[in-house]
Amino acid sequence: MVPHLTTALTGPLLELEKRIMDAQPTIEYWFRQQWKEQRAPFYTSVDLRNAGFKLAPVDTNLFPGGFNNLNPDFMALCVHAAMGAVEHICVNAQKLLLIPESHTRNTFYLQNVAVLANILRQAGLIVRIGTLMPEITEPTTLELPGGGRLTLEPLVRKGRRVGLDGFDPCAILLNNDLSGGIPDILKDVEQTIMPPLHAGWATRRKSQHFTAYQNLAREFSELVGIDPWLIDPMFGRCGKIDFNVRQGEECLAGKVSDLIEDISDKYREYGITQEPFIIVKADAGTYGMGIMTVKGPDDVKDLNRKARNKMSTIKEGAPVTEVLIQEGVYTFESINGAVAEPVVYMLDHFVVGGFYRVHTGRGTDENLNSPGMHFVPLAFDSACQLPDRRLNPDATPNRFYAYGVIARLAMLAASVELEEIQKEINGQSASS
Amino acid sequence: MVPHLTTALTGPLLELEKRIMDAQPTIEYWFRQQWKEQRAPFYTSVDLRNAGFKLAPVDTNLFPGGFNNLNPDFMALCVHAAMGAVEHICVNAQKLLLIPESHTRNTFYLQNVAVLANILRQAGLIVRIGTLMPEITEPTTLELPGGGRLTLEPLVRKGRRVGLDGFDPCAILLNNDLSGGIPDILKDVEQTIMPPLHAGWATRRKSQHFTAYQNLAREFSELVGIDPWLIDPMFGRCGKIDFNVRQGEECLAGKVSDLIEDISDKYREYGITQEPFIIVKADAGTYGMGIMTVKGPDDVKDLNRKARNKMSTIKEGAPVTEVLIQEGVYTFESINGAVAEPVVYMLDHFVVGGFYRVHTGRGTDENLNSPGMHFVPLAFDSACQLPDRRLNPDATPNRFYAYGVIARLAMLAASVELEEIQKEINGQSASS
């Protein structure tokens, strides 16, 4: 079952899908050349929006938390890709410590941890799970809804090594996005940490990611012969925001106004009659906190207290001072009347599956990944690397191929972004 | 559906499967270390025999011809592995020339070529098919039973490059085992040829392969804590055989006698009551030609004319002068009373599936891959990298995991073997 793409404006996207199909050998060759220079992140998930006239990434997560939502038929694909990732990043690792988010009550998330641990075990690693939660002071086994179990153990630091009681791992895999900053116990550790600590939201900025994506999207679009706008959401950025004391409102209103203007120009160019909209979100942060949909500068002026509160902090109470002002991309995929948004999962540089977030209570211009949201995951029923030229460009395997291509482009952008952050850190430590 | 293992003697194999399951992290770590030094062949298939008390490879094919027999659900696994192989072996290739066997009437084989070409196309290559058949002088499209088509084109040589009319490929993939020798048109070519020409039966010797396998099986068995005999068929070799003039019969009878003795010792050690047997086969060759089952030296003396004829030539009429005398391994897997033999398929160093050759008209001590044979392929219904410790060691996913491990060991042996042949060739050209 695949969501129906409900839009009369399929012209440009059909054209985009057709171009992607036609350029498939060129695209794959180009990616191969990129991976000669660039190291893919250990794992990545990318939220896409398909507006019919535009297909673009809106969020790139380096600590993906929905492996339990993937099609179980793709498990072998995950295991092979994980084997490749281990060969590339930590070939000498035998014992691996997995550090998840500090949730114990979100059973969906815990199932993700269980599936991830299972993938890594089937790839041949000895995996144990360590937690940053201070209240877990001894091995604690949690029951999962599906009948499985998960044992969380307190971390133990010895010199420059992190492990568990009786377990000294060669490598550490983070499934924790470090929104609350880098914990002391993980600082200055000699083991390989994947993704690196600077991939956490303590360091990452969405604007830096989308700048890297913009550059790659231009190069890619030239290769394929399309307008880069068809795959790239425009954006701006404001720093020094303080929603609580209403600081930075002017900057925000001005940028919103400019961006709405730019989107309107593009909509006119392509004969799109929908109303342009913008997503304002924390430049550092995840879990859809600190996010709002706006349609003009008035929407960011005179925010009421509730809205300001909502915007002012993200996960783990971190304050929002920088925001990304991103072109909103409508999602025109729907299933039984509910809005659907594809999420593509990658391990190493391979697409290993994905799912749709299907959400009945939300509009086509709203973020579908938000606090307390209840979505129904609908696993992709086929892999993303099986395009079929005998079918129409918008047939399911070909649509999934296009999703995989755009998601890989965002993942490549993340790898460029991480390299840049690494260089900045090296530069800082050299000059200090 | 998985064949039933019909033997009362499951003790040692259950023990073997249990050891393989228990040592899984050690095994995967060991393989990772091997692939740091060793380049896997582009693709490999391995025929296994499961005797209940012993699980061993009996043939390793570097030009596998049964991709059409794999489970279509594993196509994504094949495409990913092919992408990895291309990255490793010919990262700059965009156009690929596939050279199949010179059959036009074997539609099973042609379907294999079609599936293989499709895998490579989905991996992003531009693929065309060139043939060595002199009678094909212009592009010839063949209809396949499933409704597909395959276009064969005559090869064109220009200087040191091989291609087709209007098609200059960066790389050449052989699906032709060169039993008839290396054709002139492929000699001294500047493009990458995969597998290399010296992987063809013009150069390869089964005895060299099984010597490499023996060394690896010893190392592996020490790692896992088993008797290497449980995974390794014993063998001997005779050169300068001429079946037609009955030359070399003495050598053959002597080696057969010795080997039967050695097998009997092992059977006694493990309390196996079956009668030992031996497979005598051409040291260079494939397609099950030039093969016979013998149970003692008398079976190779006084061969009648028909048997001598059968043994004296292999595919494409190449004469047999060297034979491998290999310990026969019973196959005790059966399905609805028919004998079944697993064949494992690999692309790069990943297992991408496999199938059982199910053969009603053959015995448990006969070769199931023989001329004119009609087997029913039964695709593996699950991947070979999904072991599950919660199940018994002989549960389907775990049996398949063991098959994958032994097949990968044979594939690793082939990569060592190819490296040795390459060194011999380099040595010869240096000294000439």
Residue pLDDT, tens place only, B144-153: 987 889 999 9
Q: Which of A180, A213, A181, A202 lies closest to A326, judged by CA?
A: A213
In terms of CA atoms, which chain B residue is nearest residue A401? B122
Quick check: A28 and B125 in contact, CB under 8 A?
Answer: yes
| Confidence tier at B199 by pLDDT (50, 70, 90) | very high
Report whether pLDDT(A282) > 90. no
The Cα B62–Cα B422 span in angstroms is 15
| Confidence tier at B8 by pLDDT (50, 70, 90) | very low
Query: Tokens standing for A399?
Result: 């649509």
Minimum mean pLDDT among A89-98, A199-208, B353-362: which range? B353-362
- With beta carbons under 8 A apart, name residues in chain A contacting B123: 28, 385
Residue A338 pLDDT? 82
Residue A12 pLDDT? 59
Residue with tokens 């492929």: B186
Q: Is the model more confident about A9 or about A200?
A: A200
User: Over the stretch A13-51, which tens digit does the pLDDT of each residue have?
Assistant: 678 888 999 999 999 999 999 999 999 999 999 999 998
Mean pLDDT over A170-184 rounds to: 93
Nearest to A86 among B32, B77, B92 (CB): B32
User: ipTM of the assembly?
Assistant: 0.91
The Cα A181–Cα A194 span in angstroms is 16
Mean pLDDT over B181-200 rounds to: 95
Q: What pairing do the DSSP bridges indicate for beta strands B95-100 and B43-50? A: unpaired
Q: Residue A75 and residue B386: Cβ atoms within 8 Å? A: yes
Residue A120 in contact with partner chain B when CB distance is under 8 A: no
The pLDDT mean for chain B works out to: 89
Mean pLDDT over B316-333 rounds to: 83
Q: Is the model more confident about A147 or about A304?
A: A147
Report whether pLDDT(A198) > 90. yes
Interface test with A, best of B32, B94, B95, B149 (most A CBs within 10 A): B32
Cβ-based burial of B306 (10 A; exposed 0-12, middle 13-18, buried ≥19): exposed
Residue A9 pLDDT? 43
The Cα B197–Cα B403 span in angstroms is 28
Report whether pLDDT(B344) > 70. yes
| Confidence tier at B264 by pLDDT (50, 70, 90) | very high
| Confidence tier at B289 by pLDDT (50, 70, 90) | low
Report whether pLDDT(A325) > 70. yes
Q: Between vectors from CA B344 to CA B338 and to CA B345, what angle results, nearest 5°?
A: 135
Report whether pLDDT(A236) > 70. yes
Mean pLDDT over B365-394 rounds to: 78
User: Over the stretch A104-158, which tens digit does the pLDDT of each residue have?
Assistant: 788 899 999 999 999 999 999 999 999 999 999 999 999 998 788 999 999 999 9
Q: Is the model more confident about A360 or about B171?
A: B171
Greatest mean pLDDT among A321-335, B41-55, B365-379: B41-55
Hey, what amino acid is at A55?
A: L
Residue B63: half-sphere exposure toward Cβ, Cα within 13 Å? 27
- With beta carbons under 8 A apart, name residues in chain A contacting B80: 77, 80-81, 350, 385
Q: Residue B73 and residue A73: Cβ atoms within 8 Å? A: yes
The Cα B409–Cα B19 span in angstroms is 16
Interface test with A, best of B28, B74, B90, B96 (most A CBs within 10 A): B28
Report whether pLDDT(B193) > 60. yes
| Confidence tier at A225 by pLDDT (50, 70, 90) | very high
Q: Residue A386 and residue B123: Cβ atoms within 8 Å? A: no
Residue A4 pLDDT? 67
Q: Residue A25 and residue B73: Cβ atoms within 8 Å? A: no
The Cα B170–Cα B172 span in angstroms is 7
The three state secondary structure string of A196-242 is CHHHCCCCCCHHHHHHHHHHHHHHHHHHHCCCHHHCCCCEEEECCCE
The Cα A402–Cα A350 span in angstroms is 14
**Overall residue count recorded for chain B in this entry:** 432
Q: Which of A226, A194, A211 lies closest to A17, judged by CA?
A: A226
Alpha-carbon distances of A56 from A276, B24, B70, rounded to whole Å: 15, 41, 35
| Confidence tier at A250 by pLDDT (50, 70, 90) | confident
The Cα B308–Cα B246 span in angstroms is 8
Mean pLDDT over A249-269 rounds to: 94
The shortest C-alpha distance from B52 to chain A (Å) reads: 25
Q: Is the model more confident about B340 or about B126?
A: B126
- With beta carbons under 8 A apart, name residues in chain A contacting B75: 383, 386
The pLDDT mean for chain A works out to: 89
- List residues bridging with A172 in a β-sheet: A97, A193
**How far apart, in Å, do the first and last CA atoms of chain A sit?**
56
Residue A28 in contact with partner chain B when CB distance is under 8 A: yes
Contacts of A242 (CB under 8 A, 6+ apart): A248, A312, A319, A321
Q: Residue B122 and residue A385: Cβ atoms within 8 Å? A: yes
Residue A300 pLDDT? 82
Q: Which of B61, B15, B66 lies closest to B414, judged by CA?
A: B61
Residue A366 pLDDT? 72
Q: Which of B179, B176, B157 lies closest to B168, judged by CA?
A: B157
Residue B382 pLDDT? 85
- List residues bridging with B280 in a β-sheet: B292, B325
Report whether pLDDT(B216) > 80. yes
SS3 B49: strand
User: Over the stretch A332-370, which tens digit does the pLDDT of each residue have?
Assistant: 888 877 888 999 999 999 999 999 998 877 777 776 665
Mean pLDDT over A74-80 rounds to: 95
The Cα B427–Cα A66 span in angstroms is 55
H or E segment and range at residue B227: none
Q: What DSSP string describes B291-354?
A: EEEESSGGGGSS--HHHHHHHHB-GGGPBP--EEEEE-----EEETTEEEEEEEEEETTEEEEE
Residue B174 pLDDT? 98
Residue A8 pLDDT? 43
Residue A228 in contact with partner chain B when CB distance is under 8 A: no
The shortest C-alpha distance from B266 to chain A (Å) reads: 32
| Confidence tier at B9 by pLDDT (50, 70, 90) | very low
Query: Tokens standing for B128?
Result: 């065309």
pTM of the model: 0.93
Q: What pairing do the DSSP bridges indicate for beta strands B338-347 and B333-335? A: antiparallel
Cβ-based burial of A432 (10 A; exposed 0-12, middle 13-18, buried ≥19): exposed
Residue B4 pLDDT? 67
Q: Residue B77 and residue A79: Cβ atoms within 8 Å? A: no
Interface test with B, best of A385, A389, A398, A401 (most B CBs within 10 A): A385
Mean pLDDT over B43-61 rounds to: 94
Residue A263 pLDDT? 97
Residue B82 in contact with partner chain A when CB distance is under 8 A: no
DSSP state of A191: S
The shortest C-alpha distance from B381 to chain A (Å) reads: 11
Minimum mean pLDDT among A72-76, A139-143, B376-380: which range? B376-380
Report whether pLDDT(A70) > 60. yes
Report whether pLDDT(A317) > 70. no
Residue with tokens 């004469």: B319
Residue B369 pLDDT? 62
Residue A298 pLDDT? 87
In terms of CA atoms, which chain A residue is nearest residue B126? A25
SS3 A378: strand
- With beta carbons under 8 A apart, name residues in chain A contacting B35: 87
The Cα B52–Cα B8 span in angstroms is 8
B195 preceded by cis ω (within 30°)? yes
Residue A174 φ/ψ, nearest 5 degrees: -85, 130
Interface test with A, best of B122, B223, B351 (most A CBs within 10 A): B122
Report whether pLDDT(A375) > 60. yes
